[in-house]
Amino acid sequence: MATEADAVESESPHPSRKLRLLPWTGPEAKPCFLITDDDGGRVSHLADIAEEVQLEMGAHLLAHADDMLTNATEDQLRFLAERLTEALRDSLRIAESRKEWPCGNQERSCR
């Protein structure tokens, strides 16, 4: 199934350029894409840093969750679940950007 990104990429007059899904969203939580080439640029570099920070924060959050699960209150668990959901969403966006889905399906998510 072709996606919006596939259609734009196939119409590009520069075959070496690629669409990159950025690790943040635009207005109305819509995905942001960057047209880039192999060299990258400032925005591509910022996206690399943002992805690295998001993955690192997710790892720290997971370690924190392991430590607090046994004695957490209901409010703490709700807050933790919200943060873990955000971290998982970030990780899946990064995986989609890199086309490295954990389930092995490179066309769609693991839903």
| 45-89 tens-digit pLDDT | 999 999 999 999 999 999 999 999 889 999 999 999 999 999 999
12 is written with which tokens? 């590009």
Mark residue 21 as left, alpha or beta (left: phi above 0; alpha: psi -120 to 50; beta: remaining).
beta
Amino acid at 8: V
pTM of the model: 0.67
CA dihedral 27, 30, 36, 42 (to 10 degrees): 40
Distances (CA, A) of 109 to 5, 8, 86, 101: 15, 20, 16, 7
What does the alpha-carbon distance between residue 26 and residue 31 come to, in Å, rounded to a whole number? 6
Sequence-distant (≥ 6) Cβ neighbours of residue 18 within 8 angstroms: 9, 35, 36, 37
Angle at alpha carbon of residue 77, lines to 59 and 31, rounded to 5°:
55
| 9-44 tens-digit pLDDT | 455 555 567 788 899 989 998 999 888 776 678 898
